[in-house]
């Protein structure tokens, strides 16, 4: 879908398109439809037996091994395959605080998690389950739901890797907010306890009920109302209202302008840019080829909807923190009237940071890995999820989704200790629902148990790893001060 390895021709002239591979068939795991299931109690017993190999208390452990890679070196290794002019922006976004560094350091923590005591209880992991990768978005029925919303690193892996990344993110965020050590531990413990108790509830449910279970935004507001103060409720309701306005139609006003009788994406260099003028024609050809490739990955009903729109414009758009430097684009499609836009986001999909430690994906195409992982993990997914392959020499792989579909995130940086604790409970429960869809809730519940040993262990790990993150952040800042890495701040 990209020329010279870049979607839409930001690089060299496009090479001849590769023959499109057939979608990969996922490797089968667990039982099949013709196999008799084990009883819930038996599976819970198998989960309890896992404690003989990995006691719950072992999850509290973290100390950096002597052979631990240099964290700055890990980031620089990722930068090799990225768009070089965007790497300073990535560093600039990560250096803002220890929390922004943590957000961009999934590859660093993946190595670390692989050296911790690890169970054989695997689920479809998010791979980067920090607290800012949860949020609200519109389900296909147009109701707002809350769930995980980032799957760039998704892969089957031990369940506790996700829970540890989530718990540690709460301690890092609490420190950024100036919360006391006792409050930092409490919020990590709240997230872990919610994961445990929600998983126990899911283990008692029929699987179809587990599969359809989702968290509607009204449920969250109802849960918060009797516990949160007026300011916290007002902030939550404001965020929900803002999310409802973040649609393709709202994006038209924000990101596009009417030029010579048609819409064109506004440039905001270096965050939003078009390809060079002398390459615009070739770039458009490449984008159109990419859209055709993407369309073939959609189901017939989704293709029917997409065919009511036509290509208008595209531009590179820098997004996120850790993903900055990977190719990311926005495409403007229009229907048959001026108030009927559809914005798509196209993001490069590389190998998951978990892959060296958890094994390769069942899907050869990394874009398909992201899409299929998202579909089995979320209770409601974007109707326009799909993937495409680049036409350049590097053959970059991409996934596609809507740019904005009522997406919203919590304002973590303004949360009080109480609000952050409530948010920890919500995220922990959402992660349990995600894991129960692809893992065995009975085994997980048997392993985790019904007391607070798991919660306390995860909180202890989270505090220790937040210390590690601070040390890594200081090393990263030192590298910037010594000009060993390029930095562009404030972008």
pLDDT tens sequence across 286-305:
888 999 999 999 999 999 99
- The first and second tokens of residue 283, run together, are 């770039």
What is the pLDDT at residue 393?
A: 67
CA 88/CA 161 separation, integer angstroms: 29
Using an 8 Å Cβ cutoff, are 210 and 202 in contact?
yes
Lowest-pLDDT range of 149-158, 219-228, 257-266: 219-228
Q: How many CB atoms lie within 10 A of CB 147?
A: 22
pLDDT of residue 77 exceeding 70: yes
How confident is the model over 104-114, as pLDDT tens digits?
A: 999 999 999 99
Tokens of 3: 């020329």
Are the C-beta atoms of 192 and 458 separated by less than 8 Å? yes
pLDDT exceeds cutoff 80 at 25: no
Compute the average pLDDT of residues 65-90. Answer: 96
What SS3 state is found at 486?
Answer: coil
Confidence of residue 63 (pLDDT cuts 50, 70, 90): very high
Cα–Cα distance, 50 to 120 (Å, whole number): 8
Cα–Cα–Cα angle for 318, 319, 325, rounded to 5 degrees = 60
Give yes or no for residue 30 having a pLDDT over 70. Answer: no
Contact indicator for 324, 103 with CB cutoff of 8 Å: no
Furthest CA-CA distance within the chain = 70
Mean pLDDT of the 180-206 span? 98
Q: Which of 72, 68, 103 is nearest to 323 (CA)?
A: 103
| Cβ–Cβ < 8 Å for 266, 255 | yes
For residue 412, the model assigns a pLDDT of 93
Sign, CA dihedral 332-311-388-139, equals positive
Q: What is the mean pLDDT of residues 368-378?
A: 98
pLDDT score, position 75? 97
Which stretch of DSSP H or E encloses residue 344? strand 341-348
Please, what is the average pLDDT of the chain? 91
Res. 15: pLDDT tops 50: no
The length of the chain, given as a count of residues: 491
Most confidently modeled range among 16-25, 107-116, 246-255: 107-116
Q: Would you state the pLDDT for residue 79?
A: 95
Residues 6+ away with beta carbon under 8 Å from 34: none
For 410-441, what is each residue's pLDDT tens digit? 899 999 999 999 999 999 999 999 999 999 99
Q: Report pLDDT for 2.
A: 47
Structure token pair of residue 154: 């998704």
138-147: average pLDDT: 93
Tokens of 277: 């003028």
- Residue 285 belongs to what H/E stretch? helix 280-295
- For 254, the token pair is 């924000």
Task: Quote the pLDDT of residue 27.
Answer: 53
Q: Give φ, ψ of 285 to 5 degrees.
A: -60, -45
Domain boundaries, the chain: 42-244+413-481
pLDDT reported for residue 390 = 81
Q: Is the pLDDT of residue 235 over 90?
A: no
In the chain, DSSP finds a helix count (H) and a strand count (E) of 18, 15
Task: Tell whether the torsion through CA atoms of 444, 450, 455 and 457 is positive or negative.
Answer: negative
With 60 as the cut, is the pLDDT of residue 154 above it?
A: yes
Q: pLDDT at position 6, please?
A: 47
192 and 449 in contact (C-beta within 8 Å)? Answer: no
Question: For 311-327, how does the pLDDT look when each residue is reduced to its tens digit (9 = 90+)?
Answer: 999 999 998 898 898 99
Residue 396 predicted with pLDDT over 50: yes
CA angle centred on 370, ends 367 and 371, rounded to 5°: 85
pLDDT of residue 404: 86
Mean pLDDT over 28-44 rounds to: 82
Distance CA 279, CA 307 (A): 27
Strand order in the sheet with 397-402: 272-273, 310-317, 328-334, 341-348, 397-402, 386-389
**pLDDT score recorded for residue 433:** 98
Provide the pLDDT for residue 234: 86
Q: What is the pLDDT of residue 35?
A: 80
Q: How many CB atoms lie within 10 A of CB 61?
A: 13
> What average pLDDT score do residues 343-357 get?
97
**pLDDT beyond 70 at 4:** no
Nearest to 399 by CA among 369, 364, 376: 369
Enter the DSSP assignment of 412: G
pLDDT above 80 for 9: no
Share of the chain above pLDDT 70, in %: 93
pLDDT, position 477: 98
- Start-end of H helices in 2-39: none
Q: Is residue 184 predicted with pLDDT exceeding 70?
A: yes
Is 78 in contact with 71 (CB distance < 8 Å)? no
């Amino acid at each position: 879908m990209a020329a010279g390895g870049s979607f839409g021709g930001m690089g060299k002239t496009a090479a001849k398109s590769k023959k499109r591979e057939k979608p990969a068939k996922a490797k089968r795991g667990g039982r099949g439809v013709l196999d008799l299931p084990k009883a819930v109690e038996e599976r819970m017993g198998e989960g309890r037996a896992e404690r003989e190999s990995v006691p719950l208390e072992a999850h509290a452990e973290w100390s950096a091994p002597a052979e631990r890679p240099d964290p700055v070196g890990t980031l620089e290794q990722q930068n090799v395959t990225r768009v070089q002019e965007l790497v300073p922006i990535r560093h600039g976004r990560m250096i803002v605080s220890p929390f922004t560094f943590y957000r961009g350091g999934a590859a660093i923590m993946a190595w670390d998690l692989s050296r911790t005591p690890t169970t054989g209880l695997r689920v479809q992991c998010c791979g980067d389950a920090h607290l800012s990768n949860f949020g609200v978005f519109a389900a296909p029925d147009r109701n707002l739901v809350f769930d995980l919303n980032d799957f760039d690193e998704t892969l089957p892996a031990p369940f506790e890797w996700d829970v540890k990344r989530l718990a540690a993110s709460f301690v890092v965020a609490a420190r950024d907010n100036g919360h006391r050590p006792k409050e930092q531990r409490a919020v990590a413990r709240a997230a872990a306890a919610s994961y445990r108790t929600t998983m126990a509830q899911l283990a008692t449910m029929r699987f179809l009920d587990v599969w359809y279970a989702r968290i509607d935004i009204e449920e969250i507001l109802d849960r918060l109302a009797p516990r949160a103060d007026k300011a916290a409720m007002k902030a939550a309701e404001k965020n929900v209202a803002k999310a409802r306005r973040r649609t393709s139609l709202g994006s038209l006003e924000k990101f596009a302008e009417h030029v010579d009788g048609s819409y064109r994406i506004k440039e905001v260099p270096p965050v939003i840019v078009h390809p060079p003028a002398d390459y615009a024609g070739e770039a458009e050809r490449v984008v159109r080829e990419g859209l055709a490739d993407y369309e073939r990955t959609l189901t017939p009903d989704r293709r029917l909807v997409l065919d009511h729109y036509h290509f208008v414009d595209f531009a590179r758009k820098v997004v996120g923190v850790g993903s900055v430097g990977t190719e990311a684009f926005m495409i403007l499609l229009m229907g048959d009237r001026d108030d009927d836009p559809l914005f798509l986001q196209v993001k490069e999909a590389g190998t998951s940071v978990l892959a060296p430690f958890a094994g390769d994906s069942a899907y050869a195409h990394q874009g398909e890995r992201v899409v299929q992982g998202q579909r089995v993990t979320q209770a409601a997914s974007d109707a326009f999820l799909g993937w495409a392959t680049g036409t350049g020499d590097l053959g970059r792989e991409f996934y596609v989704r809507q740019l904005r579909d009522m997406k919203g995130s919590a304002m973590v940086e303004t949360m009080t200790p109480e609000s952050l604790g409530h948010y920890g409970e919500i995220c922990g429960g959402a992660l349990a629902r995600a894991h129960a869809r692809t893992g065995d809730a009975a085994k997980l519940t048997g392993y985790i148990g019904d007391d607070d040993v798991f919660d306390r262990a995860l909180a202890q790990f989270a505090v220790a790893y937040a210390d590690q993150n601070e040390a890594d952040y200081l090393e990263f800042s030192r590298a910037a001060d010594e000009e060993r890495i390029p930095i562009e701040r404030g972008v």
